[in-house]
């Protein structure tokens, strides 16, 4: 029985992280049969409750290593001092963590966009993966968007050297692939679809939160506090979105379901889609049951089922849009980074389904929705044809992992 460790994972509060873990475990099971997967967690009880069947799939939740000095080190690395940028993770690791890493056959670094500058320098993650490399374990950067790193020029040499040591850097879209192969000149890069394209959905009763349906169905909308970071000037994103929703209901006779996809399991309001969209829902209370919000307590597979029941979807969270697209639902991605552009370009051959956060307004949302209405039939045809191909690319990537593990 093969054992794996997933670095870069901390919590299922982000259902995108949960979707990656669930789908990755499923792909590994398909290829290897019986497996054990060590999944780091900052709250083992909460994550276990989120996936009660995890043990049956070979998943064992283990304590995530989140040292208190991480925050101070990351902030220190923001200083414009070259040797700090190149320092990586200069601290030692506890014995119990070394024992866990030493016990596995391979380490998969997951998390989607951890290896980017979206969340400062990925120093701790580099340290964890380096620990595995130094122990002689195969390390695969798995289903990721990687880079660009030009915003931190002194960091480029360090991250290039680190990524070159990985057995494979498996990216989920062509923008990252081109950057790594053409700009950083890496030779160990492989492209696949995001593993969450293979996530199975799980039926759930939607009657408690489904809006009263207009004659033209239900539009799902996901916006998040994260997009506030990328807005332009004095944009009022909630107000623009609320005005767009009013127009959708009144003019198009389409109801709206607000879909939170990141909601901390401890009830915190920090980075919570549910908390953020509650204000939007309150502002639209006069529309009654035509606008409602999905329960924030659902897991990633249940959310994918809910999304699959929609006619259209507009979303800011990457894995909410992946859940929609992989369910055949015509989708607009509200983008704040290159990953949405890359995923859409690979799927549709263009970035027409992408709306930049900096351009978000009632007008651009309406234009995007009009485009969905116009292109609905062709989008459904493209999704029906392309999703099986993307799912196959993920399964093919796991075969490469098997080759690496079997060669050890």
pLDDT at 341: 85
> Is the CATH number 3.90.76.10 carried by domain 2-199+390-407?
no
Task: Count the neighbouring beta carbons within 10 Å of the beta carbon of residue 385.
Answer: 9
The separation between the first and the last C-alpha atoms of the chain, rounded to the nearest angstrom, is: 14
Convert the pLDDT of each residue in 248-281 to its tens digit: 999 999 999 999 999 999 989 989 999 999 999 9
| pLDDT at residue 219 tops 80 | yes
Q: How would DSSP label each residue in 306-371? A: HHHT-SEEEESSHHHHHHHHTTT--EEEEESSHHHHHHHHHHHSSSTTEEEGGG-SHHHHHHHHHH
For residues 101 and 109, what is the distance between their CA atoms, to the nearest angstrom?
12
- Give the residue among 185, 200, 228, 389 at the shortest CA–CA distance from 308: 200
Structure tokens at 150: 């030009």
Q: How would DSSP label each residue in 118-157? A: BTB--HHHHHHHHHHHHTT--EEEEEE-----TTSGGGHH
Task: Sort strands 255-258 and 168-171 into parallel, antiparallel or unpaired.
Answer: unpaired
Instruction: Write down the number of H helices and E strands in the chain.
Output: 14, 13
pLDDT at 328: 98
pLDDT at 104: 98
pLDDT at 24: 98
pLDDT at 230: 79
- Lowest pLDDT segment from 51-60, 222-231, 238-247, 306-315: 222-231
pLDDT at 232: 78
Convert the pLDDT of each residue in 34-74 to its tens digit: 999 999 999 999 999 999 999 999 999 999 999 999 989 98
pLDDT at 112: 78
| pLDDT at residue 118 tops 90 | no
| pLDDT at residue 3 tops 90 | yes
| pLDDT at residue 106 tops 90 | yes
pLDDT at 61: 98
The label of the residue with tokens 């993770």 reads: 89
Would you place residue 347 in the very low, low, confident or very high pLDDT band (cuts 50, 70, 90)?
A: very high
pLDDT at 176: 93
- Give the residue among 302, 215, 206, 297 at the shortest CA–CA distance from 257: 206
CA dihedral 326, 12, 343, 275 (to 10 degrees): 90
CA neighbours closer than 13 Å in the CB half-sphere of residue 108: 31
What are the two backbone dihedrals, phi and then psi, of residue 270, each rounded to the nearest 5 degrees? -65, 125
**Cα angle at 68 between 64 and 72, to 5 degrees?**
125
Would you place residue 111 in the very low, low, confident or very high pLDDT band (cuts 50, 70, 90)?
A: confident
* Residues forming CATH 3.40.50.2000 domain(s) in the chain: 2-199+390-407, 218-386
Would you place residue 157 in the very low, low, confident or very high pLDDT band (cuts 50, 70, 90)?
A: very high
Burial of 316 (0-12, 13-18, 19+ CB in 10 A): buried
User: What mean pLDDT value characterizes the chain?
Assistant: 95
Percent of the chain with pLDDT over 90: 88
For residues 312 and 372, what is the distance between their CA atoms, to the nearest angstrom?
8
Percent of the chain with pLDDT over 70: 100
- Give the residue among 135, 270, 111 at the shortest CA–CA distance from 196: 111
Convert the pLDDT of each residue in 73-88 to its tens digit: 989 999 999 999 999 9
pLDDT at 336: 80
255-258, strands of its sheet edge to edge:
291-293, 255-258, 218-222, 312-315, 331-335, 354-356
Would you place residue 192 in the very low, low, confident or very high pLDDT band (cuts 50, 70, 90)?
A: very high
| pLDDT at residue 107 tops 90 | yes
pLDDT at 204: 96
- Entry pTM: 0.95
- Give the residue among 313, 321, 361 at the shortest CA–CA distance from 337: 321
Contact 323, 303 (CB under 8 A): yes
What homologous superfamily does CATH list for 218-386? Glycogen Phosphorylase B; (3.40.50.2000)
CA torsion sign, 77 to 164 to 18 to 96?
A: negative
């Amino acid at each position: 029985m093969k054992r794996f460790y997933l670095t870069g994972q901390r919590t299922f509060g982000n259902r995108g992280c949960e979707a990656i873990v669930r789908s990755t475990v499923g792909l590994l099971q398909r290829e290897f049969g019986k497996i054990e997967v060590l999944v780091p967690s900052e709250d083992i009880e909460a994550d276990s409750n989120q996936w009660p069947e995890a043990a049956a799939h070979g998943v064992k939740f283990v304590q995530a290593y989140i040292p208190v000095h991480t925050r101070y080190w990351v902030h220190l690395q923001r200083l414009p001092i070259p040797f700090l940028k190149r320092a990586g993770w200069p601290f030692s690791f506890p014995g119990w963590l070394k024992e866990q890493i030493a016990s596995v056959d391979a380490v998969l670094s997951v998390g989607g966009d951890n290896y980017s500058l979206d969340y400062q320098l990925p120093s701790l993650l580099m340290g964890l993966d380096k620990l595995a490399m130094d122990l002689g374990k195969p390390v695969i950067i798995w289903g990721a968007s990687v880079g660009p790193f030009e915003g931190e020029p002194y960091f480029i040499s360090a991250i290039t050297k680190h990524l070159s040591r990985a057995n494979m850097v498996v990216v989920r879209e062509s923008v990252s692939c081109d950057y790594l192969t053409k700009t950083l000149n890496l030779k160990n890069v492989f492209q696949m679809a995001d593993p969450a394209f293979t996530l199975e959905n799980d039926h759930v009763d939607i009657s408690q939160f489904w809006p009263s349906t207009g004659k033209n169905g239900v539009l799902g909308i996901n916006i998040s506090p994260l997009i506030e970071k990328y807005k332009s000037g004095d944009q009022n994103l909630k107000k623009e979105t609320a005005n767009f929703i009013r127009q959708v209901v009144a003019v198009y006779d389409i109801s709206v379901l607000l879909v939170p996809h990141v909601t901390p399991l401890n009830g915190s309001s920090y980075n919570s889609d549910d908390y953020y969209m509650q204000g939007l829902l309150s502002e639209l209370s006069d529309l009654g049951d035509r606008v409602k919000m999905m329960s924030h307590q659902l897991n990633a597979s249940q959310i994918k089922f809910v999304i699959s029941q929609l006619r259209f979807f507009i979303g800011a969270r990457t894995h909410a849009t992946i859940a929609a697209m992989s369910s055949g639902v015509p989708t607009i991605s509200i983008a704040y980074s290159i990953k949405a552009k890359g995923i859409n370009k690979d799927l549709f051959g263009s970035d027409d389904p992408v709306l930049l956060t900096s351009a978000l307004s009632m007008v651009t949302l309406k234009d995007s929705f009009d485009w969905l209405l116009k292109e609905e039939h062709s989008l459904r045809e493209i999704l029906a044809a392309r999703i099986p191909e993307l799912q196959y690319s993920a399964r093919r990537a796991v075969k490469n992992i098997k080759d690496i593990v079997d060669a050890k």
